[in-house]
Every structure is written in structure tokens, then in C-alpha cells.
């Protein structure tokens, strides 16, 4: 999704790092690609992290951030890191899954997570093993971030799942499995890159954009798709990754400084991005956004759609083992976080969490 596209909206993070001794620092460049807009929260955090690296590195090493998708879409940025044109990128799951497919479990399970606490719990449980998988693929995760909840922005009002069957959805070009699942359920995905969203809405090629509110505001998507469905479809999760080669070229002292800065940047992005969801919605409402809120009966229809989606996602969009792991951790969290008199799996959209 397109927010998913900076983010992630946000996409999330990447960072290039070629490091050597100070004597050769002038030959070193860290080139970072991201879909995040220039001067956005995400861009500013990348710049701050770069200043930490440059200070620790010494000499006249150069740190370059390429915002606004100037290095291509997220799949393209993953490719550029592999061939050394970038040393890192701020990516959402859309790009991260090009490196390690199991990461899709954190973003591609619609209506599963009910709040950020659940997202945080599951991510932290999976984090050590997930970071090891990335390392085995030649990448180091420096920070974990997110960019808000995906909402549906459309040219016409829509509140029920069937309302969207007459519409055409923006879809990531790299997510063929998702497109196949959507088509099988009667929806019409149109594979594009984020840079194509606005002109495609204008021409009628698409009329629905799954996006975070922040991205919809920053990109002005809401001005042409002024109806937002108030439903938290899925979180946009991302990570700041750098190539292992760039990491290994750093001294232990530089690594420690960058690791600390990465942790700080991730925390800042998560905290601020979550605040900006409501702020962005309020700002858009003042400029004409129409918020459509489903009734309880309509929400049940969305839950029924999720029940149909999960078996199709398992093993296709998300590796079966990782899919099961997410549900295991979420079941454990809900069992421990709800009061004894509460139904332990209240509002769970599928039977995977049943006792």
C-alpha cells in the first residue's frame, strides 16, 4: 500500500554505511534510500542518525539520504542495496520482504492487531529470530519503526466490503500474491508504484488507495480520494536496514554509536508516527475529508472477510511457520492482558486464536 509506502507512510527505514579508518573516510559514503518525504519525521531521523555516523567515523565521510522515492520503489531499493548502489534503505514490509519474506507476518494480516501494544509485543517476541534471518541474508537491522494504520481512501463513499468490489485498488507492483488473493475475492487491484498514485486517481485508473493517514495528507491523496473508511486494516511496519558489508566496514566503536542512534531513531519514529495518525485525520477533516465509520454489523462483515483471507495468506503471502508464530504470541498476549471476566479473544476476526 502506498502509505505503506513511505512509510508507510509509513514504509520504513534504510541506511547505507561504508566505513573505514578515518584516514580513508573521504572515500566513504553512506547512501540511504527511502520513500519518506523530504523533511518528514522519517527523513529527519535518518539525517540525525547520519550525523552520528559521520561524527563517529571522522574525516570527511559523506552521508546521503535520497527521500521521496528518488531511488525507485521499495523492491528497487532492495535491489540497489544488493549491488552496492545503496548501502541501506528505510523500508516498509513491502521492501523488507524482498530480503526476508517472513517479515510479511507483521503487516500482511488484516484486522489481526487491535492496537499498538499488540503489534509491539509480537514484534519484540519475534525480533531476535527475525534479525538473525536478515543477517543471514546479508543485512543488519538498525531500528524498527512503524507509520500508522492503513485506512482506505476512496473517491466515493464506501463502508462495507462489497462496496469496494466496484472500485479499483492501488496495489504494490511487487505483491503478486496479494493481487491474486484480491482478484479471487472479487476485488480489482491495479499494480503501480507510489509515484503513479496521484496521476492514476486523476485518470480514473484507480479510485481506492490503501494508505496511512499521514501519507494521505503528505501526498495530498485525500484531495482526490476524499472518503476515508475508519477501520484499522493493518499496521505499516518497517525497519532501518544496512548491508552487512557496510556494517562490517565500521569499527566496533562506530558500530556502537550507530546502534545506539538506530535504537533512538526507531523509538522516535514509532512514538511520533502513532501520534500523527489522529493529527493527520483531523487536519484532513478540516480540509474536506469525509470519515465513514462502519456500524457494528458492517464491522462483522469486515471480520468475516478477514476469516476468508487468513487461510489464503498463510503459506502464500506469509510463510506458514511465521504465520502460526504470530498467532501463538498474540494468543498468549491476549490471555495475559485481559481481565479474567473478559472474553479472552473478543473481537478476534478469525478462528486461529480460538482455544
Domain boundaries, the chain: 3-147+237-278, 151-233+287-353
Closest by CA to 36, choosing from 200, 148, 169, is 148
Q: Is pLDDT of 66 > 70?
A: yes
At residue 259, the pLDDT reads 97
Q: What is the pLDDT of residue 24?
A: 45
- 82 vs 22, higher pLDDT: 82
What does pTM read for this prediction? 0.83
Query: What is the CATH topology of the domain spanning 151-233+287-353?
Result: D-Maltodextrin-Binding Protein; domain 2 (3.40.190)
Q: Report the pLDDT value the prediction gives residue 250, as an integer from 0 to 100.
A: 95
Residue 203, C-alpha cell as written in the block = 485518470
In this predicted structure, what is the pLDDT of residue 114?
Answer: 93
Q: For 266-306, write each residue's pLDDT tens digit.
A: 999 999 888 888 899 999 999 999 999 999 999 999 999 99
- Give the model's confidence band at 18: pLDDT under 50 very low, under 70 low, under 90 confident, else very high: very low
Q: Are 234 and 109 in contact (CB under 8 A)?
A: yes
* Residues 229 and 289: beta-carbon distance below 8 Å: no
pLDDT at 16 exceeding the cut of 60: no
Give me the CATH code for the 3-147+237-278 domain, please.
3.40.190.170
Strand locations in 160-268 (E): 168-172, 188-192, 208-211, 227-229, 235-243
182 CB-near residues (< 8 Å, 6+ apart): 169, 171, 188, 189
Helices (H), 137-251: 176-184, 197-203, 213-219, 244-248
- Rounded Cα distance, 61 and 29, in Å: 6
DSSP 8-state symbol, 198: H
Q: What pLDDT was estimated at residue 27?
A: 61
**Per-residue pLDDT band at 324 (split at 50, 70, 90):** very high
Domains 3-147+237-278 and 151-233+287-353 share a fold: yes
pLDDT of residue 6: 38
Bridge partners of residue 65, in order along the sequence:
32
- Range of weakest confidence among 13-17, 32-36, 99-103, 228-232: 13-17
Burial-class residue 201 by CB neighbours within 10 Å (0-12, 13-18, 19+).
Answer: buried
Q: Please answer whether residues 151 and 228 qualify as being in contact, where contact means their C-beta atoms are separated by less than 8 angstroms.
A: yes
Identify the pLDDT of residue 177: 87
* Each residue's pLDDT tens digit, 164-205: 999 999 998 767 888 999 999 999 999 998 889 999 999 999
- With a CB cutoff of 8 Å and minimum separation 6, the contacts of 266 are 13, 142, 143, 144, 145, 240
- Kindly report the number of other CB atoms within 10 A of residue 319's CB atom: 17
Q: Please check the confidence at residue 129 and state whether its pLDDT lies above 50.
A: yes
What pLDDT was estimated at residue 173?
77
**Per-residue pLDDT tens for 142-164?**
999 998 999 999 999 999 999 99
| Cα(322)–Cα(328) distance, integer angstroms | 10
Contact between 211 and 7 under an 8 Å Cβ cutoff? The reply is no
Amino acid at each position: 500500500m502506498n502509505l505503506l509506502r513511505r512509510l508507510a507512510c509509513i514504509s520504513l527505514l534504510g541506511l547505507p554505511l561504508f566505513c573505514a579508518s578515518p584516514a580513508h573516510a573521504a572515500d566513504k559514503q553512506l547512501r540511504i534510500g527511502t520513500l519518506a518525504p523530504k523533511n518528514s519525521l522519517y527523513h529527519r531521523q535518518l539525517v540525525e542518525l547520519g550525523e552520528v555516523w559521520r561524527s563517529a567515523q571522522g574525516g570527511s565521510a559523506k552521508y546521503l539520504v535520497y527521500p521521496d522515492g528518488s531511488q525507485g520503489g521499495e523492491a528497487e531499493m532492495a535491489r540497489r542495496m544488493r549491488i552496492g548502489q545503496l548501502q541501506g534503505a528505510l523500508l516498509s514490509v513491502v521492501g523488507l520482504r524482498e530480503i526476508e519474506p517472513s517479515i510479511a507476518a507483521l503487516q500482511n494480516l488484516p484486522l489481526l492487531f487491535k492496537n499498538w501494544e499488540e503489534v509491539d509485543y509480537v514484534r519484540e517476541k519475534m525480533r531476535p529470530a527475525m534479525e538473525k534471518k536478515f543477517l543471514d541474508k546479508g543485512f543488519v537491522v538498525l531500528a524498527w519503526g512503524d507509520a500508522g494504520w492503513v485506512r482506505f481512501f476512496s473517491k466515493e463513499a464506501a463502508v462495507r466490503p462489497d462496496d469496494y468490489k466496484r472500485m479499483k485498488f492501488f496495489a504494490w507492483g511487487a505483491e503478486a500474491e496479494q493481487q491474486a488473493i484480491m482478484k479471487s475475492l472479487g476485488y480489482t487491484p491495479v499494480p503501480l508504484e507510489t509515484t503513479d498514485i496521484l496521476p492514476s486517481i486523476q485518470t480514473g485508473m484507480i479510485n481506492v488507495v490503501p494508505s496511512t493517514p499521514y501519507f494521505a495528507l503528505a501526498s495530498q491523496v485525500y484531495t482526490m480520494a476524499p472518503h476515508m473508511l475508519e477501520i484499522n486494516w493493518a499496521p505499516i511496519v518497517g525497519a532501518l536496514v544496512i548491508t552487512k558489508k557496510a556494517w562490517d566496514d565500521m569499527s566496533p566503536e562506530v558500530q556502537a554509536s550507530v546502534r545506539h542512534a538506530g535504537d533512538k531513531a526507531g523509538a522516535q519514529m514509532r512514538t511520533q508516527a502513532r501520534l500523527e495518525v489522529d493529527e493527520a485525520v483531523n487536519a484532513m477533516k478540516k480540509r474536506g475529508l469525509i470519515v465513514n465509520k462502519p456500524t457494528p454489523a458492517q464491522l462483522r462483515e469486515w471480520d468475516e472477510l478477514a476469516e476468508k483471507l487468513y487461510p489464503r495468506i498463510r503459506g502464500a503471502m506469509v510463510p506458514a511457520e511465521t504465520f502460526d508464530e504470530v498467532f501463538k504470541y498474540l494468543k498468549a498476549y491476549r490471555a495475559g492482558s485481559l481481565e479474567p471476566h473478559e472474553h479472552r479473544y473478543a473481537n478476534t476476526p478469525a478462528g486461529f486464536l480460538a482455544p
